[in-house]
Amino acid sequence: MSTFRIPPGREASNGMGQGMVERPNVIWLFGDQHRHHATGWAGDPNLHTPNIDQLAHLGVRCRDGAVSGNALCCPFRGSLLTGVYPHRCIPRHEAPLPDGMPTIAEPFNRAGYDTAWIGKWHVDGGSERDGRLAFYIVPPERRGGFREWVGYENNNSQWDCWVHGGRDGATDQWKLPGFETDALTDLFIDYLKRRVADPDTPFFAALSVQPPHWPTQCPPEFRRLRPDEVHLRANVPPGSAGERLARDWGPGYYGLIENWDMNVGRVMTALRELEIAHKTHVLFFADHGEMLGSHGRNGKVTPHEESVRIPFVFGGDDMFYNRLGRGESDALINHVDIAPTTLGLCGIDVPPLMEGTDWSFLRDPRRAKPENLPDCAYLQAIEPREQAPAHRGIITTDGWKYVCTERGPWLMFNLRDDPYEMDNLALVPGAKAERERLHERLLAKIGELDDEFSPASPM
Q: Which helix (H) or strand (E) holds 404?
A: strand 400-405
In terms of pTM, does the model score above 0.85?
Answer: yes
Confidence grade of residue 22 (pLDDT, cut at 50, 70, 90): low
Confidence grade of residue 37 (pLDDT, cut at 50, 70, 90): very high
SS3 letters for 81-146? Answer: HHCCCHHHCCCCCCCECCECCCCCHHHHHHCCCEEEEEEECCCECCCHHHCCHHHCCCCHHHCCCC
Half-sphere CA count of 216, side-chain side, radius 13 A: 21
CATH 3.40.720.10 location in the chain: 25-363
R_g (Cα) of the chain, nearest Å: 21
Mean predicted confidence (pLDDT) in 12-18: 41
Mean predicted confidence (pLDDT) in 38-47: 96
Confidence grade of residue 414 (pLDDT, cut at 50, 70, 90): very high
The string of pLDDT tens digits covering residues 232-266 is 999 999 999 999 999 999 999 999 999 999 999 99
- The alpha carbon of residue 101 and the mean position of all alpha carbons in its chain are separated, in whole angstroms, by 19
The string of pLDDT tens digits covering residues 112-129 is 999 999 999 999 988 888
Residues counted in the chain = 459
* Angstrom distance (rounded) from CA 249 to CA 218: 11
First and final CA of the chain: distance in angstroms?
41
The string of pLDDT tens digits covering residues 298-316 is 999 999 999 999 999 998 8
CB 39 within 8 A of CB 311: yes
* Angstrom distance (rounded) from CA 32 to CA 206: 13
pLDDT at position 20 over 50: no
The string of pLDDT tens digits covering residues 352-393 is 999 999 999 998 777 778 888 999 999 999 988 888 899 999
CATH 3.30.1120.10 location in the chain: 389-448
**DSSP annotation string for 171-232:** --EEEPSS-HHHHHHHHHHHHHHHHTT-TTS-EEEEEEEEEESSS----GGG----GGGPPP
Fold for domain 389-448? Arylsulfatase, C-terminal domain (3.30.1120)
Query: Which of 105-114, 122-131, 214-223 is predicted with the least confidence, judged by mean pLDDT?
Result: 122-131
Mean predicted confidence (pLDDT) in 144-168: 95
Q: What is the DSSP letter of 298?
A: -
Amino acid of residue 27: I
For residue 12, the model assigns a pLDDT of: 39
User: Which of these CATH numbers, 3.40.50.300, 3.30.565.10, 3.40.720.10, 3.50.50.60, describes 25-363?
Assistant: 3.40.720.10
